[in-house]
Chain A
Amino acid sequence: MRAHTKASASCGTCTGLVEKLMQLSLGDSYNPTAVQPMCSCTELGHDEVRRLIKAKGLKTIPAVMQELEWKTSCGCAKCRPALNYYLVADWPDEYADDYQSRFINERVHANIQKDGTYSVVPRMWGGVTSSKELRAIADVVDKFAIPTVKVTGGQRIDMLGIRKEDLPAVWADLGQAGFVSGHAYAKGLRTVKTCVGSDWCRFGTQDSTGLGVRIEKFMWGSWTPAKVKMAVSGCPRNCAEATCKDVGVICVDSGFEIHFAGAAGLDIKGTEVLGLVKTEDEALEVIVALTQMYREQARYLERIYKWAKRIGYDEVRRQVLDDVERRKAYYDRFVYSQQFAQVDPWSERVSGKDKHEFQPMAALSFQQAAE
């Protein structure tokens, strides 16, 4: 149905209707619980592919395709980014990221716009900034004549309409002011939104800003199956809107209430409560373990709320909250993979990495062409 009509192939909100239609036309011969293949290159579903990558010790995309009998020579735009993620997540120290299997945004570390220009979002830890940072942004906007500057929903500043050729120079100037990539393009940790918490707010029970910054500094750079948005609110009034995030924290006098599996996009869903912990350290450990469990188990492009619903909220609680040993193991595996993941991609490219990506191969002018 998808291949021939494109119904349910983009945002997916009509999938339920499409399934009903199929049930109506096919009757009993339609089995909605049958395993959905990853794409038309294989009969295998995501879970099966993930299992076999581990079981057979497959460590490159060609190895996966050969061993699992892919039907195409080098995959497609659906399976390649998925396999690239699974291999990075499963073999963090051994797998060399396949650059040509990334979506454009993750390949050039900026967000492509409808006119082919890009947007750039520097990281502002926990949404906190300063006059120095704002001045640097203002200077970059003037210097490169950036047409639009927009405040995002995740408490960041977005500069839109930048030519691809200008990206490395924009990053160089931002880097001078101490900015690193905000990963606004990544299937990874996007933002940790915070409120001002006990530093300023008369209702704040804990240092929500500080905790948000700490989580963000700990977790940035990690690859995840889909984007991960977090928030920390200093009290149950919840100014950081933590209860519709992938992971949220509501600070209370007795500690930190950890929430997960919220959504405020294609679906709107309040979070589930994971549990209450007493200290910041514990909160960080639980959140990191939850993220690692998600990294290891979810299907590519599956947000936390869909994954958690599929495997069961109680199962997540059991593994990352109740089972302390398991929590620690997840935490350790996340920490191990971070040593390979926490490299600022902007400064790498300012230093000349992937230079070919940002320059046309050739520019033929009228004069040259007329010769």
Chain B
Amino acid sequence: MNWHEIGTIEDIPARGARCVTTPQGRIGVFRTADDEIYAIEDHCPHRGGPLSQGIVHGNAVTCPLHNWVFSLETGKALGADEGSVKTIPVRVIDGRILLGLERALMAAE
């Protein structure tokens, strides 16, 4: 696991998200109303919608394409839908956000 600084909490609107492009695909980085930070892959398992563009509520996001709802904590779909997105390790140190990217993918380069 390698940690990469991507910016600060203030770069993300509260109850909002930004995306980060990485060698392992697009990652959505979310900030909740309580300033908790989560990262998940930016790709809905249903039809590939960019989850970072959805409405953030509680610790969940609603996909902008067909309204599937995902837990930001577990990556699991909530409600009647089944599926999950990969969660990405994230750390916040003094307001700076770091993403943990996979060693394997980087070694492959």
Contacts and interface: CB of A to CB of B under 8 A. Distances in A.
Interface of A: 3-6, 9-10, 72-77, 80-81, 99-104, 108, 112, 114-116, 356, 360-366, 368-370
Interface of B: 2, 4, 6-7, 11-16, 18-23, 29, 33-34, 47-50, 53-58, 62, 64-67, 69, 79-81, 99, 101, 105-106, 109
Contacts of A99: 13
Given A5-B80, A361-B11, A104 B19 contact: no
Contacts of A370: 106, 109
A25 to B, nearest CB: 18
A72 B64 contact: no
A162 to B, nearest CB: 14
B47 to A, nearest CB: 7
Contact of A112 (B21, B23, B56, B64): B64
Contacts of B20: 360-364
Contact of B56 (A100, A103, A108): A100
Cβ-closest 3 pairs across A and B: A77-B62, A361-B18, A362-B6
Contacts, number: 108
Contacts of A363: 20-21
Given A77-B69, A116-B49, A369-B101, A364 B57 contact: no
A103 B55 contact: yes
B23 to A, nearest CB: 5
A108 B13 CA distance: 14
A99 B16 CA distance: 9
A365 B53 CA distance: 22
A39 B66 CA distance: 17
A10 B80 CA distance: 13
B55 A361 contact: no
B19 A360 contact: yes
